[in-house]
Each structure stands twice: as structure tokens, then as C-alpha cells.
Structure 1
Amino acid sequence: MIETMQCAGADFCEELSGAGDTSFARFYEGDPPSRLIYSTENLTLLADMSPLVLGHLLLLPSNHYMSFAQVLSLHEAEVSGFLAEIVPLYREAFGEPLILEHGSSAGQESHACITHAHLHFLPIDGDAVDDHLIADALAYRDLGSLGELALSPWPSSAYFLRVYRERVRVYRPTGKQKRQYLRSVAGAVLAIEDPEWDYAVVMRKGELRRTMRMVDYWPGKLSGNVTTVDAELSCGE
């Protein structure tokens, strides 16, 4: 059984709860005042604070889960509906989205540095990412749909998720991958020099600001049953 975990003090949670003193606020100093784009009852879309490229977005649950496999176990319809609305807008603004995730569970190595489940959206070539993952000798399984990620063993396993052009693939970590592994792979595809793909090394503030300007019309294009960036979000309640 997947349980909602208390989020206080965990990654992203202070920001989602509306706290003023956050890493984002300190780094960006009010420009922009927020990176929140759009949310539903259980999901939040925001710009990556340290983007690899223009259009680097994150989708995360408002409550605390270790992976999107766990989120899908409880909120599959909401995730599917969210993606059905967001992906066409993303494609129009930035190009075909590649979706990546470092999935993890309690007590397992995730190769990520953030424990709150989140999907990365990037306008890069997913086939090229596959080439890198396969070259690293990672075994994989193709799924019939993203909803299958909610099935065993994924909610209790570490995994690397890749979704591209509606093709869903899950790679198995070997334990040899470094932290921020998928960021490093995406960085290689983007020809970003090592270690400049590391979120703590280069922040690319201009790309976040441009991204926020390019998505400012999205809430008006989406369904009315949403909360926009001005709403108070909950985390772990």
C-alpha cells in the first residue's frame, strides 16, 4: 500500500507550502517572483531552478512520494489528464518533450539528489538519450503506457524512466551510476561540458526567466479546475 508521506522539511516542500525563505527566492531575488506555472489538486508544474536548457520543467506531486510510480498508484487519472493538457502546450512552445525520472523508494539508491518525486520535461532527443543509456549497459523494459508504472515492481524499486513520443521505457540502475545520472546524460546530448550539467555548478538563470515568460499564457489555455501560480499549495497535508 502506498501512503502519503509527511513533507515538512523535504526537498521542494517549503516552496510548495508558500514559504518565503526558499532556495529559489534566495537565488533569484524576486526575478521572477515564482517559478510555479500550474497545478491541480495533487500535482504541480514548475520551472527547473537550474535548467539544462530553455523549457526545462518539473512535474511533482504536492504531497511527498518517493517516485511517480507511487504517485500513479493513487492518482493515475489526474496524472493522465494533466499530461494530456500540458504536452500539446509544451510541444507548441519548446518542441517534443522528453520526460525523465530517477525513481526510488525508501531505503534504495535513487541516483538523484532530491527525494521528492519529480518528472523532468526537456526538449531534447529521446532516442539519443536511449543510445547513452544502452551504451552504459542498462537493461530496460518497454511499457504499454505510463499507467503501467503503477504496477509491481516499480512503486518499490529504483528505476530510470524515459517517455518520448508516447513510448514509455523503464531502465534498471546497476548501482554504478553517479548522482544526477540522467542530468548528466541529458547534458551529454546537449553537448554541455562535464560537470556543467550539475545543477549546483551552473544555474542558467536567463533560461528560467525566458521559460517563465514563454509559459505565462498556459493557465488560460488549461481547464478551469486548476490552481494557478498565485494559489496557496499544500505539501504533506
Structure 2
Amino acid sequence: MRAYKFYMITINHSNKKKDVREMDSIKLYWDKRFKEKKWIWGEEPSEAAVRTVVFLKKENKERLKILDAGCGYGRDSMYFTAHNHKVIGIDITNTGINMARSYYPDIDFLIGNIHDLSFPNASFDMLFGNFLLHLFIKDFRKKIIKESLRVIKPGGIASFSVASTEDADFGQGQEIEKNCFVNARGIMKYYYSINTIKNEFKQFKELFIEPMLEKHVHDYPHEHKSFLIIARKEGTVEC
């Protein structure tokens, strides 16, 4: 098994129509991508999912109830399920969810918005989002993080992988907010630094932050520098 080093940081304690338009735009883009490319990132789990499972094993976390937010066609949902966790996958794209349901019929997949989840408070032990959070402007990221805190249990975990300011794509395209760019394909991406991670996740009790380098082969061979963020909510885990 590969060994990963985590760095622990202890933390002290719009407009609705515009929101709909933005989510519709994202939905249309990813529906089109899944229809054209199918298995865009292959069948293997993301690097973030692999490292998150390593983290959970180190903490002796077993049989967790996990929400895979922005699950796409379900490859990470399957990986967590294979490690004996109970997973619900959610994504805004009909195409992605239909693919996931077809490939992994034993896993529950739902269509929905990750910034406005329909689940009751404290429904999950962990929320996971691979390359999800950085696809939104600041107001949306705040909503997603707030919803993450709401739906995970006290002492639970939110795990996100996000783009880094060290990534080769940083600075390319039109800057619409600080460190947030729209590239030539029309995709918006926000690039995180350690400081912006600490600031956006300051409501969590602890952060475990690890730099990652992940290779992709879709469209053309390339790699992305990113961060894995594992954030622990205040409170005690129920036994």
C-alpha cells in the first residue's frame, strides 16, 4: 500500500435566478461531455478517492455512510463501496447518473444540486467531492461547504480535491474573480492556495491538507496539481 503524508492544521474557532442559470450551464456542459466521451477519466478511482480511503483506514473508519457529491458516472462511488462503505452518489447531470445506474446497479444514485441537498441534517459520516468545489464561484463554494457541514454528522468528514495555484493551467483564460478563470472551453475553475483553503474551511475543527499530482489522459495526456482537503467537523462521532 502506498504511504501518504498528511499535514494537520488545527483551526480556531445571489441571486436565485443567477444560481439557476449557472447550474443549468454546468449541467448542459457535463451532459454533453458524458454523451461524447462516456468514461472520460476511465474506470479506475480518482487519486483523491484512493488517498481518502487510505486516510480512513489509518483512522480505523469502517462502514461509513458516504455521500459522493458530483459523482459523475460513479467510479469513486464504486471504489468506496468496494471498501465496505455505504454510498449514495449525487450529480446534476442526467447522463452521468444514468451511466452510473447502468454500470453500478447496486449503488443508489440521485440527480440533484450539491449546493442545495435534500437530505436531513447529520445524514452522513462523510461527504466526498472529487474536482468539484473549484468549478464554482465564491458564493457557490460557500453554499457547498455550508451544506457539507449540515449533512455530515458531528465529528464527521468532508473530503474534497481542488485545483492548486501551482497547476499549469492557473492564470489561463478570463479572470472573473480573484484566482477564478474561464478557460477556452468555457469551463470556470477556481485555484486554491493553502491560505484560501484554511479561510474557506475555517468552520471545521481540523484540516488535513495534502498536495497531489494526478495524471489524466482525456482529450490529451496531461497532469494536474491539486490539493486533497480532509476537513473534520466539530463534535464527537457516535459509536
TM-score under structure 1 length normalisation:
0.29
More strand by share: 2
Larger RCO: 1 or 2 (CA < 8 Å, sep 6+): 1
TM-score under structure 2 length normalisation:
0.29
